[in-house]
Structure 1
Amino acid sequence: MDDHSSAVTAVTASVSGGVGTITFDRPERRNALSLELFGALGDHLDAWRTDDDVAAVVLTGGEEMFCAGLDLDLQSGFTQETRAAYAAACLRVYGGLLDYPKPTVAACAGPTLGGGCDIAVFCDIRVGAENAVLGFPQVKFGLTPYFSPLWKIVGLSQAKLLTLTGDRIDAAEALRIGLLDRLVPTGTVVAAATAVAASIAATSTKSAMFNKEMVLRSPAMDPISALSFETMAYREIIWHPDVVERITDAFGAIRSTP
């Protein structure tokens, strides 16, 4: 169990089998984003950056809701101070997810809206339940969404549709346009997302981090630079003791097979 207190921050966190799980726990507010929730989320993510027991991270709000976006109580009562604090919280959490050194998986159920949809988009992988509803309804109030990296996931035209209209889409449409990577029955999304993260964790923390680094850096490179970078990463990881042991064990198993 993670050491951080979670009772007062509406976030719980745990680590098992190489997977760190952060659960939003404000069901009475549909897991709406408060400064406290943002702070706790950022604290757990920061703590796990250098924790070798965590190879991959799952973000979830449970089976009924992911996150309905910014808490309207906070938004309606914005002051200069709280508005600045909220902007700083966005930069910290969204920026931290965007450049996170370990793979992240969002388990999207029910309302996955506004800032909640942003969190999902800033994760590496999105597993959705059939009851998921995604979108950026804050646009209807005249507010702006995050356009990037959404457009890199769903393409420019679909990103324009979502961010210019503020219309919500169901899980089937989200899967069709690529906003969701996998769709699973309602009530199973946390287990499905955890299974994906566990599969990543099984490669070892070091391998997961090397592969995440390639995921982060290679898309911005020209093809030859990417080839060189990925070859150097391979040369480095191939000599890691965990990898050497796995390869040796695998070849030993093959040789011993009749």
Structure 2
Amino acid sequence: MEYRYLLLDVADKVATITINRPDKGNALAPDVLEEVTAAFTALGERQDVNVIVLTGGEKYFSAGFDLNEIRKLEKVSNEAYTALFHRAYRAIMFCPQPVIAAVGGAAIAGGFDLTLMCDIRYASTRAKFGQREIVLSLTPIMDPLWRIIGLGRAKEVALTGRIYGAEEAERMGYVSKVFPEGELLASVGEIARQMATYDRMCLAETKRLSNQVLNQDLDGAMRVQEWLFRTYIGSEDNHQRIDALQAQLAASRKK
């Protein structure tokens, strides 16, 4: 599929999706959202993709909603536009492969929400995060935000509309690691390529498990995890990876 507002690169079992609307700060116009939905839906079916990176490059992520488009809406005719956002959100969140957000610049409002749908978030020192919906008299997405940073902090983010720097986002647990400006994509690419060497189905099952256990009691969660572990332990791939790791450790001890 040809994309107008996205760049897609697939190499070493890693797909990198770059939002490419720099003249508008990668603002999320309807066409952008349609392309995000289509891209993640298509990549979810590809057997040659184990990990997906979503980024806006080293300078941008997404400034959020295209305000010119939202200003045209009326309450009686907003359903289609609202559905566009949530189709894009769900396409990312429920994509089978792990999705990493590489945030090089502002991730605000709808742009923040895109990072919220990803499984892991990395940022450069120039990145900024803000759930600014409240400023526009809009209600923000609280779930899964509260699951990531806790309910109290999620309320602060949602109710104040404050913008946070990358380091503060890391301290609150929203961002996993902050990289120097200009080193984000190379650093995240290295992490993604290492992840992509792991078993594709094991990655997908682990992602699904992490979402599933949140809604179960402890006993139920433990039973599901036992069943999944039993599904993989003793498999041929499991044996091969044990042999490879033991050979690597033996070689390192001889040095």
* TM-score computed with the length of structure 1 as normaliser: 0.90
Cα 1:80–1:201 change in 2 (3 A) is: same
Counterparts of residues 164-203 of structure 1 (less than 5 Å): 164-203=159-198
Cα 1:139–1:232 change in 2 (3 A) is: same
Offset at 1:238? 2.8
Deviations 1:171-228 (A, max 9, x none): 1111111111111111122222222222221112122112112212122222222221
| Residues 41 and 95 in structure 2, CA contact (< 8 A), matched pair in contact too | no
1:35 maps onto 2:30 in alignment: yes
* Paired amino acid for 1:83: N
* Paired amino acid for 1:114: A
| Residues 210 and 237 in structure 1, CA contact (< 8 A), matched pair in contact too | no
Offset at 1:125? 0.5
1:123 maps onto 2:118 in alignment: yes
Aligned residues: 253
The range that moved more, 206-215 or 55-64, is 206-215
Counterpart in 1 of 2:47? 52
Distance 1:108 1:116 in 2: 10
Report % sequence identity: 30
1:11 maps onto 2:29 in alignment: no
Q: List gaps (5 residues or longer) in structure 1.
A: none
Distance 2:76 2:57 in 1: 32
Cα 1:81–1:211 change in 2 (3 A) is: same
The range that moved more, 70-79 or 243-252, is 243-252
Distance 1:41 1:214 in 2: 24
Offset at 1:252? 5.8
Distance 2:17 2:248 in 1: 37
Distance 1:125 1:252 in 2: 31
* Paired amino acid for 2:52: V
Q: List gaps (5 residues or longer) in structure 2.
A: none
Distance 1:239 1:82 in 2: 55
Counterparts of residues 34-183 of structure 1 (less than 5 Å): 34-78=29-73, 83-183=78-178
Q: Cα RMSD (Å) of the superposition?
A: 2.1
The range that moved more, 241-250 or 195-204, is 241-250
Distance 1:244 1:197 in 2: 23
Distance 2:156 2:105 in 1: 21
* Paired amino acid for 1:50: E
Q: 1:20 aligns to what SS in structure 2? A: strand
* Paired amino acid for 2:104: A
Distance 2:112 2:187 in 1: 19
Cα 1:69–1:250 change in 2 (3 A) is: same
Distance 2:235 2:62 in 1: 39
Cα 1:27–1:81 change in 2 (3 A) is: farther
The range that moved more, 63-72 or 82-91, is 82-91
| Residues 99 and 216 in structure 1, CA contact (< 8 A), matched pair in contact too | no
| Residues 18 and 205 in structure 1, CA contact (< 8 A), matched pair in contact too | no
Q: 1:198 aligns to what SS in structure 2? A: helix
Deviations 1:144-166 (A, max 9, x none): 11111111111112111111111
